[in-house]
Structure formats: structure tokens, C-alpha cells
Chains A and B, each alone.
Chain A
Amino acid sequence: MQSRVAIIGIGYTPFRVVTPDVSFKEMMFEAAFKAYEDAGICPRHDIDSFINCAEDFTEGRSIFDIHVPDNIGAVLRSIHTICHDGIVGLIGGYMLIQTGQFNIVAIESHSKLSNMLTQNYLTAHAMDPVFNKPLGQHPGYIAGMEMNRYLHETGTTKEHCALVSVKNKRNAIDNHLASYGDRITTEDVLNSETTFYPLSRLDASSPTDGGIVMVLASEEKARALSKKPVWIRGVGWCSDTPTLESRSWSEATYARIAAEMAYRMAGIKYPKKELDLAEIDDTFSYKELQHMEALKFCRKGEAGAMVEEGVTEREGELPINVSGGSLGVGWMSEATGLQRVLEIVLQLRGEAGKRQVPNAKVGLAQSWRGVPTTSGAVIILSSE
């Protein structure tokens, strides 16, 4: 028998392109301290287990999990690190609570990407060493090839993609956490330098720093501790084949399967009607369109028109990336998924301020682990 699990605490630092004022340890501490205060708990007594989402190469030290416990109140407690996006960490916490052995679990992820000076080489290091690495090049070409095939098969245009960058950067202006809020035009995007044809500079997100911590609780604890619990209604996660040679280049199959899993669990049949808003992966502008189709907000090839018609605007029928997404907020490595969940939680609590979507009750957050992966996760949250 499944029990219900809720997010009862959120904590976050300001997201900024550079953060010289704090070490990664101080950044993690600040986010964790705020999350525990928000949940009204003491980490040293009340939290049964901790999960951190981080990648050794990004942090610059092997076995990064040993450097985690002190920063989030987990010294001499049960803790583990998942080398994956933050939403997968949340799903791990959800499963721990489902076992009945844990009542409260905290999940942490952060980005200190400003301290990683050779991100492109790090991404290149993720490629197959025998078949792909010897061909050289900046790995951004994978996004270019994917965008090319997606546009080719669906008839979507570069203009459609540009509209996503325009929308998300504009949305970010109203998000005090966002680093890349801007008022730009489709022409600005189309005229920006081609980086990896057909991809242009303004089609791609840029990195930012920040820490995020969330506290999960069982139904009993959530009702006792929280006035505004945000319930996890469905979760799903999936990875396609790693090989560039045999993966799908036009469709985000991993996101479709993860979404089907989450919709089944949440009992959602018509996502576009039943969801009040969604925060989905937009690491590149075309990814938002590709993911909209994979998440069944529309049929294949229809996402571009949906954006053009204003359906995904803040005032539209299904607002997408009201926070500004990665294009507007900044890309946060393993913490990217938690940034998307954070926006949904703020919206469902009615605490999103200027960018509040009226009567938001059900929201979806989706992550993609970035080039060169085909890994994604979906979480569906509701205020009721």
C-alpha cells in the first residue's frame, strides 16, 4: 500500500553567475539551514536520512560524498550521494519514506559551476573514449545534431525555438533568483552567432551558481509539521541508450517514458488540461519544444505552434517555465531539477510573488541530465 509523501521544507541561496562570497560548503549550509527552518525541524534529531546529488568531476574531487555530511547537518547520520539530477534524488527520498522506515528525508544539490573552469572538457570526458572522443570537437555538436533532426522531422522552425528563449528570458525578469532575465526579440536570437548549426548562442542556457535543499515527510509528519505541504503525486525516471549511433535524435523518448510512469501513478490522462503549470528542461531552446511533445502536452510537431499561440506564456492555458527555466535562471548542473521543483513548490504554495500563476494546484517538473546524456526524470506535485 502506497503512502503519501510531501515536500514540507525548501531552502535556497540566491542564484548568481559567480559566488565568491561563499565556499561550496557555506553555500550548502545556507540552503540546508533555511530548508530546515522552513520545515520547522532540527536536522540533528528529526531527519532520518539525507541524500545529496553531485558529480565528482564537477566538484573537482573524487569520492565527493565524503565532503557532504558536515554541510547539511548529516554528520554521523544516514546519508548517501546520487550521481544524478536532483529530481532523481527527490525520487530516492520518496522511495525511502515509502519503505516505512524513514519519516523525514532531506535532499541537497548545488551548483558551483563558476569554480569549474573547463566545463566543455568535462562534458567531452563523458563521451565514449574509443568511438567518439577521437573525433575531437566541443561536445555541443550533439545538441546541434539533435536540433537539426528534430526540426527536420517535425517541420518546427528556428523561429519557434527562438520564441522559447524570448519567453523564458522575459519570465526570468520577474524572478529575483534568476541570473539571465532579459528582454530580447526573436531576431536577437536568430542573429546571434551560430555555435553548432542550427543552434545559435541565444538558443543555449549558461551556467549559474546556487544551492537548494528540500525536506520530504511522510503523510503523518507532513500534516503535523506543515501548513502548506506539497504532495508528490507521481514520479518517473528513464535513460535511453548511451550510444550516439543508435539513440533517437528527433524525440526525447527518455522523457516520454518517465512521464508515462509519473502520469500513471498520478492518474493523469490529459496533462494539458490537468496540469496548471510545468517547469521543464530548456537547456537549449529546442529541448523545451521536444520535451513538451514527449510530456504529451501536444502531439509531435505541434509544440512550436503551441508556443507561438501563447499557450505556454505565464497567462496562457499551460504556463511553461514561469521561473525563466535554464535559459532565464541559468543552468545549475545537478541542481537544475531542484530549481524546477522549487518553482512548482513556490507556485503551489502561492508564494511566487509577481509571477504567481492564479489557482495553481497541480504542477509538473522535468529534468534532463544534459549533453551527452539521454536521462530524464519527471515529478508531479499537487497542493491537495
Chain B
Amino acid sequence: MSEKIKEWPGVALKDADIKEKKVLFTEWRPNLKYAWDTGVGYGRYFEGLRNGRIVGTRCNKCHRVLLPARAFCEWCFRTVDEWVYLKDTGTVNTFSIAYTGTQAERLKEPRIPALIEIDGSNGVGIMHLLGEVDPKNVKNGMRVKAVWKPKEQRQGAITDIKYWKPFEEGTR
């Protein structure tokens, strides 16, 4: 409001006016469904997860292991040279402690997304979650190991690994 304007013209719209459909109201729920082909690279990667294995590919030009396994190297722009089977252990490159859920709700028990550099992959990692760890104790550079779902529950999906937990060398 100002010196000149004491009242705005028109009628303010309230939340209730929309809920009670007092204003022009239209509702539309998009029906969009997809079924993505995995192709060669991702297909074998998911098959590996179902079998409790982490499968990558190697490019012999840049000597990187590509994860998730893919059919071509994005740096060298050539087809990859071989499949590689990696350990399910690695090192936390970076992480966050998420106290907010997908609905923007407060989480009492935070989720800990992390990039885990898989052993033997020259620094290429897997995006996943950490578990069985107190958020206070999570550190960059921490050694972790995959906790797999029981075999009969695996579907060939990234969630076939439940989470990654801290581990010490020489233990299981």
C-alpha cells in the first residue's frame, strides 16, 4: 500500500476458492509411461547385480573402467574392449547427509547418499547409499562394502544392493 493506494482493486484469490472450485478449474493428470531398453551395456550390468556381481567395461585407450558397464567410452568415443568383474568393496569419494525426504518432509533418520569408488576401477564409482553407520562417523575416504539383498529378492536393479557399510581390511 502507498499514499495513493489504500486498497488494491479486485478480489484476492484464496486457497479455499480453488479447493471449492469457485474459479475456473481444470485438472489433468498426464499419463506418461516408459519402458526403456537396457541395451548391451546396462543389460549386462543389471544381470550382474542380480547375480551379486559388479560388472564394468574397460577402455584400453584411456585405461578406465566404466561403471555402470557401458558399450562405449565417452572420452575416447570408441567401443570398449572388455568386460571386467569388480569387487564389491570401495572408498567413499564424497557423501551428503540428507535430512529432507522426497516430499520435503523432515527425516529423523537421515539418508546418506555417497559416491563409492569401486576397488580396481581407477576412481570411477557407483552412486548409492551408506548404512549401518552413525552419520557422525561418515568420512570421505572411508572404506565400505556392499550389503546385498538375499538372492531370491534381487531383480536386476541398482536396489539389489541394499546399502554400503563400513568395513575393515581383512574382515568380511
Contact = CB atoms under 8 A, between A and B. Distances in A.
Given A26-B72, A44-B77, A75-B75, A60 B40 contact: no
Given A26-B41, A44-B76, A75-B75, A121 B36 contact: no
Contacts of A122: 30, 32
Contacts of A183: none
Contacts of B8: none
A32 B73 CA distance: 13
B33 interface: yes
Contacts of B153: none
Interface string B20-59: 0000101010111111111111110000000000000000
B111 to A, nearest CB: 22
B26 A60 contact: no
A57 interface: yes
Interface string B109-131: 00000000000000000000000
Contacts of A223: none
A23 B32 contact: no
B74 interface: yes
B21 to A, nearest CB: 13
A157 B41 CA distance: 51
**Interface extent on B, as a size class?**
20 to 34
A115 B28 CA distance: 23
A265 interface: no
Interface centre among A25, A117, A118, A134 (most CB of B within 10 A): A25
Contacts of B70: 25
Contacts of B77: 32-33, 36, 42-44, 73
A353 to B, nearest CB: 27
B128 to A, nearest CB: 20
Contact of A116 (B34, B41, B74): B34
A125 B76 CA distance: 39
A36 B32 CA distance: 34
Nearest to B76: A44
A133 B28 CA distance: 8
Contacts of B78: 33
A70 interface: yes
Contacts of A75: 74-75
B71 interface: yes
Main secondary structure of the interface of B (DSSP, over half): loop
Interface string B63-81: 0000000111011111000
Given A25-B70, A44-B77, A70-B74, A129 B37 contact: no
B33 A117 contact: yes
Interface string A332-364: 000000000000000000000000000000000
Given A73-B77, A118-B31, A60 B37 contact: no
A29 interface: yes
B72 A60 contact: no
B28 A29 contact: no
Interface stretch (A14-22, A81-89, A173-181, A305-313): A14-22
A133 to B, nearest CB: 6
Interface centre among A20, A27, A29 (most CB of B within 10 A): A29
Given A44-B76, A57-B32, A122-B32, A134 B39 contact: no
Contacts of B32: 57, 60, 116, 118, 121-122, 125
A14 to B, nearest CB: 14
Contacts of A116: 32-34
Nearest to B31: A121
A24 interface: yes
A112 interface: yes
B57 to A, nearest CB: 12
A23 B42 CA distance: 8
Contacts of A112: 36-37
Contact of B71 (A24, A26, A57, A73): A26
Interface in A52-76: 57, 60, 69-71, 73, 75
B44 to A, nearest CB: 11
Interface of A: 19-27, 29, 32-33, 36, 42-44, 57, 60, 69-71, 73, 75, 112, 114-118, 121-122, 125, 129-130, 133-134
Given A21-B37, A25-B70, A29-B72, 9 more contacts: A22-B37, A23-B37, A60-B34, A60-B36, A121-B30, A122-B32, A125-B30, A129-B28, A130-B24
